[in-house]
Amino acid sequence: MKDTILEISDLSAGYEEKDILQEISLFIREKSFVGIIGPNGSGKSTFMQVLARSLPVRNGDIVLMGDSLQSWSFRDFGKIVGYVPQESDIKFRYPVYDVVMMGRNPHIERFRSPSAADHEAVQRALLQTGTVELARRPITDLSGGERQRVMIARVLAQDPVLLLLDEPFAHIDIHHQYELIRIIRETSRDKRAVIGVFHDINLAAAYCDQLVLMNDGKIRAFGKPEEVLTTSLLKEVFRISPVIDVNPTTGTPYVYVEEKWKETDAQNVHIHLISGGGTGTYLISLLSRSGYSLSCGVLAENDSDCLMARKYDIPTLTEPPFSRLSQETEEKLTELVKKADVVIVTSMPVGWGNYPNIRVLEQIDPHKILCILPSSGPSLPDFTSGVATDTIKRLLSNGAQKKSSPGELMEILQTTQIVNDYK
């Protein structure tokens, strides 16, 4: 069991008369990386200010490593807790090196100069944050992102046990953002706990062990990213319609926001989508969001298109992976494509197993078929020695339409001409 660094119970705090934070209770264990997320005005920054002691505690207790927060002398407090505020507006021309050295202040006796160890700590922090070449420049000459990196260098030089970051990456480019969060996380694995306010939910989800979701000055949820980032919580707190996916690079939750736009009449139009191998995922999302009544298939059960269709709860014909289409499924498919107002075919890989998907199209009016094919020609990854390609060519010459980009497709659907034409 790891030791508790910070123990917050029933905290309230705020500015002037109003309590911004209410009933906050939280445990922070050593070596943990906790992200705070929440909409604007939810009290994230206020919370950080209270922890950094720049805002007093109104009610409740904060216990830092066994002692009440207020009982710590500021000198000892500074050895334990480091803080990077949201904005720092240094308006004097201090060289970057001197600014980073300020982080060592709690470690330097009043009447002493910085020791060799202090200079070493500063050098290391400059290296870690990629600010070595800025060391001699005045902080006032740097860009917003560079300044923020210097502020992070300062807190790394300070080497605290508990690190408080208030939206540390607001102005930092994506390269340094990932570099810095990696360094901060590494150091948290070694020795320190980190509490960070993050604007980017997906970044927080990827790197934090635990997330705190704040809303209206209260903690709405606290737990592992996958426990906090749920559709219902995000919908309630952020007022968005989230789609929660898996970040392909980290395996952590990844939140998309759905654009809400509905075509009038769209729900009266039935589109059947024939796709596979991931060529239809975005179409499934796009078309169902636009409000079309959609069906898919036939798809293999483990196909990423099939997973997407399930996410949106779309009626889909399926077959077990790597099997041929059964007679029964093919009949169901024929029925669907005959009923559909529009049938869309993507440039999916075709083999003998899924060739019937295309074959059935020869039984319907070719004018209601839309092929999404590369602009280079009527080709798709063909594993049927050209039989599937021939079928597609035949469909096109009989009047099927060919589009090469989803943009073109949406244009057609939005004007709803095709829909009216073939109804």
Partner 1 sequence: MNTIRNILILTGLGCAVLIAILVSVITGPVDISLADILTGAINDKTKELILFDIRMPRAIAAALVGAGLACAGAAMQTLFRNDLADPYTLGTSAGGAVGVSLAIISGVAMLVPVAAFCGAIGSAFLVYILAAQKKRLSTGNLLLTGIAVSMFFSSVVSVCLVLSGKNMHQIMFWLMGGLWNTSWADIPLLLITLIPAGLLVLFSRDLNIMSCGEAETRTLGIDPEKTKLLLLGISAGITGLVVSVSGSIGFIGLVSPHIMRIITGPDHRVLIPASLGCGAFLLVCADTISRTWLGDLPVGIVTAFFGAPFFLMLIRRRTDL
What CA–CA distance (Å, rounded) separates 113 from 116?
A: 10
Residue closer to partner 1 by CB (options 152, 392) is: 152
> For the residues of 254-318, what is the DSSP string, one character each?
EEEE------TTGGG-EEEEE--TTTTHHHHHHHHHTT-EEEEEEEETT-HHHHHHHHTT--EEE
Backbone angles phi, psi at 15, to 5 degrees: -105, 145
Q: How far apart are CA 314 and CA 293, in angstroms?
A: 9
Least distance to partner 1 from the beta carbon of 4, Å?
20
Query: Does the protein bind partner 1 through residue 91 (CB under 8 A)?
Result: yes
Task: Tell which one of 22, 129, 148, 158 touches partner 1 (CB under 8 A).
Answer: 158
Site residue total, partner 1 (CB under 8 A): 38
105 binds partner 1 (CB under 8 A): yes
Q: Of 93 and 338, which CB lies nearer to partner 1 in the complex structure?
A: 93
Stretch that binds partner 1, among 28-36, 83-91, 222-230, 407-415 (CB under 8 A): 83-91
CB atoms inside a 10 Å sphere around CB 127: 12
Q: What is the Cα–Cα distance from 344 to 273, expressed in whole angstroms?
A: 5
Comparison of 135 and 412: residue with beta carbon closer to partner 1: 135
Please, which residue, 54 or 326, has the CB nearer to partner 1?
Answer: 54
* Span near partner 1 by CB under 8 A; candidates 49-57, 256-264, 313-321, 347-355: 49-57
Applying CB under 8 A, does 82 fall inside the site for partner 1? yes
Between CA 407 and CA 19 the distance in angstroms is: 50
Is residue 53 near partner 1 by the rule CB under 8 A? yes
Torsion of CA 107, 112, 117, 123, to 10 degrees: 90
Q: If binding is defined by CB under 8 A, does position 119 make contact with partner 1?
A: no
* 94 is a site residue for partner 1 (CB under 8 A): yes
89 binds partner 1 (CB under 8 A): yes
Nearer to partner 1, 77 or 254 (CB): 77
Place of tokens 């919580």: 233
Rule CB under 8 A: choose which of 68, 93, 338, 414 binds partner 1: 93
Q: Which is nearer to partner 1, 79 or 124 (CB)?
A: 79
**Which residue in 8, 28, 37, 83 binds partner 1 (CB under 8 A)?**
83
CA distance 169 to 166: 9
Residue 71 is a binding residue for partner 1 (CB under 8 A): no
Q: Pick from 9, 15, 41, 56: which binds partner 1 (CB under 8 A)?
A: 56
Choose, by CB under 8 A, the member of 9, 54, 143, 250 that binds partner 1. 54
Tell me: does residue 110 bind partner 1 (CB under 8 A): yes
If DSSP codes are grouped into helix, strand and coil, which group holds residue 21? Answer: strand
Among the listed residues 338, 394, 403, the one whose alpha carbon sits nearest the alpha carbon of residue 370? 403
- For the CB of residue 81, give the shortest distance to partner 1 in the complex, in Å: 5
Structure tokens at 349: 């890989």
Nearer to partner 1, 129 or 354 (CB): 129
Distance CA 138, CA 182 (A): 27
What does the DSSP 8-state code read for residue 138? B
CA angle (255, 259, 265) in 5-degree steps: 140
- Chain residues binding partner 1 by CB under 8 A are 49, 52-54, 56, 73-75, 77-79, 81-85, 88-95, 98-99, 102-103, 105-106, 108, 110-111, 138, 140, 158, 160, 164
